[in-house]
Chain A
Amino acid sequence: MTRNTRILMSIIYWAFVVYLFVPLVLMILMGFKDSKFIGFPIKSWTLDWYVGVFRDTEVISVFIYSTTIAIASTAISLTVGTWISVLLAGRSFFGRTVILGLTILPAVIPGIISAISFRIFARLLGVETGMFAIIWAHAVHNVPFVALVVMARLATLPASHTEAAMDLGADRFVSFFRITLPYLKPALIGAGVFCMLLSFDDFVRSFFLGGYEPTLPVLIFSKLRSGMSPEINAIATVVLIMTAVLGIWAERSMRRMGKGT
């Protein structure tokens, strides 16, 4: 690579970084503006919006509601996704390709279509809209991501490890919980955090399947309809920091645990 192309490519890269981060920086800045209107110039600064957010019982309870949904749906996705991966791993049997395809399908169906079909299906079954329905939809949507990550990790587990466990007296059950599952831990942490973020962030499914209580994205949406206010920026900034911390932690712990195995 010549010197000039390297300079050109660096410029393009940094332009992309600016493009990516400027909106985020603007959003964060506006949350500190001492005025009801969003836009420059910022004449005076305040923390009032943040104080407001942490005092707003509605925001707090919606945050807890969304977190509960994220944790519950992630737990289901991890269980089902791991189950499917273990079933499909390293074996070929009639219908394997079909099962694999069906497993991946929820990830590629457009959100709006899956949301509508969930809504129809829920009504057909007599399931009320609300927390249970949202957890269900999120869990189904997230299973493919778990299955893909866990299958990739499982493929690197040498067959001799589980054979050694059996050789030393373990049955399949003990071998799974004491050898396979610990080996999958980095993959499960990574997939789990990813699922939680997907669930926390989801709007379409939560909107269609939600009852009277909104999830956080739905709440922000409804607040937006009454006009943009720096309060929304403050909420968004808090969410941004929390998800970034969670994501970075997951990435680092995956790398630490993936090492040497």
Chain B
Amino acid sequence: MPTIEDPIVHIDGISKSFGRTVALQKLDMKIDPGEFVTFLGPSGCGKSTTLRILGGFAQPDSGRIVLGGEDVTRLPPNKRKVNMVFQDYALFPHMTVTRNVTFGLELKRMTRDRIAARVDELLSFLELDAFRDRFPDQLSGGQRQRVALARALAPDPDLLLLDEPLGALDARLRAQVQLELKDIQRRTGKTFFFVTHDQDEALTMSDRIVVMNQGRVEQDGTPEDLYLRPKSRFVAEFIGETNLLSGPVRHAEDDRVAIDWFGMQIEGRAFDRTPRPGDVVTAALRLEKVGFYDARPETGNAVPGRVVNRVFKGSRTAVDVRVGDAGAAILKAYVDRDVPDDVWLGWESANLAVLQD
């Protein structure tokens, strides 16, 4: 029995190339039992390659996959305690819902009674009782997705892989399914390895997000970490909406970094490595962290500016504000009330994250 300290999955320095294209560069990662881990990134970032290597559908050029203490790198998919929810669900069209879910159990040589009990349990757990005898083409997108999930959970895998399984659903259904999926993961206590390019999905469901770019890990952390304390420009821009402020460092002490930004003195936090004075750095500021004031506020940072553009978005308005020497820079922000053209903008230093690149 693996204890809670042992990782259920250990990805040990795997690399993979397709011809000249490098898909993964020495990826190292440990995943704890019961974690909901999301690999997030644009297409071609290596997230799907990692998923296929974990599933046994691709072999790494180097490195090992250790699953529950056992090296499974060379094991084919049918010999691994890993199951997958495919992007197109891959439900068997000639089998009913029940037969689809039964498929993996029959191959485990379980007794008939135990199979029936397990199928009943899963179908009621996923609210599919009413559709037992339907064929996949008689189901809606959301129902198919649940059948795919039931089928993958049936053999009781150590690790469940999910390959962008919400991509085929419409926006409203997707939001509902995200919450359902998170709930299912919590109730089953299974380790979920989820792959997506959709930041909303990642932020909503994950315990931990791994942002991938060009075969490397950009940042690995909780959704809050990634959103509020991005390490790189890539992460800051990929997740949420952000202002990027660049300028030379004036002073740096511990994690406090003073930056000269178009003649304005602003202060941010370096969460990882503190830069030296003179370095040109970029800092990320989330749009909704910028506050609007009539007079100079007491916040860590305050700059005067002039509103040059307003876009009404319903519950709030997106505003562009010219700031700095001769209005050389523009800050984007959200505001939920009417603001005059001449305003003071303020934000706390902790909300200005100094990036590593």
Contacts and interface: CB of A to CB of B under 8 A. Distances in A.
Interface string A229-261: 000000000000000000000000000000111
A166 B94 contact: no
Task: Say which size band chain A's interface belongs to.
Answer: 20 to 34
A259 B136 CA distance: 12
B329 to A, nearest CB: 49
B135 A260 contact: yes
Given A169-B78, A169-B104, A169-B108, A164 B86 contact: yes
Contact of A160 (B78, B88, B104, B135): B88
B1 interface: no
A23 interface: no
A135 to B, nearest CB: 31
Q: Interface majority SS on B: helix, strand, loop or mixed?
A: loop
Nearest to B109: A169
B78 A167 contact: yes
Q: Contact size class for B?
A: 20 to 34
A168 B83 contact: yes
- Greatest chain A CB density within 10 A among B93, B151, B154 is at B93
A183 B93 contact: yes
Interface in A137-165: 158, 160-161, 163-165
Contact of A161 (B78, B92, B104, B151): B92
A158 B83 contact: no
B94 A168 contact: no
A185 B94 CA distance: 10
Contact of B77 (A167, A185, A259): A167
Interface in B49-89: 55-57, 76-78, 82-84, 86-88
B88 A169 contact: no
B94 A160 contact: no
B137 A163 contact: no
B137 A261 contact: yes
Contacts of A182: 92, 94
B83 A167 contact: yes
A170 interface: yes
B92 A179 contact: yes
Contact of A166 (B77, B93, B154): B77
Nearest to A157: B93
Given A179-B92, A261-B93, A261-B94, A170 B107 contact: yes
5 contacts: A160-B86, A161-B90, A164-B86, A168-B151, A169-B107
Interface of B: 55-57, 76-78, 82-84, 86-88, 90, 92-94, 103-104, 107-108, 135, 137, 151-152, 154-155
Interface of A: 158, 160-161, 163-171, 174, 178-179, 182-183, 185, 259-261
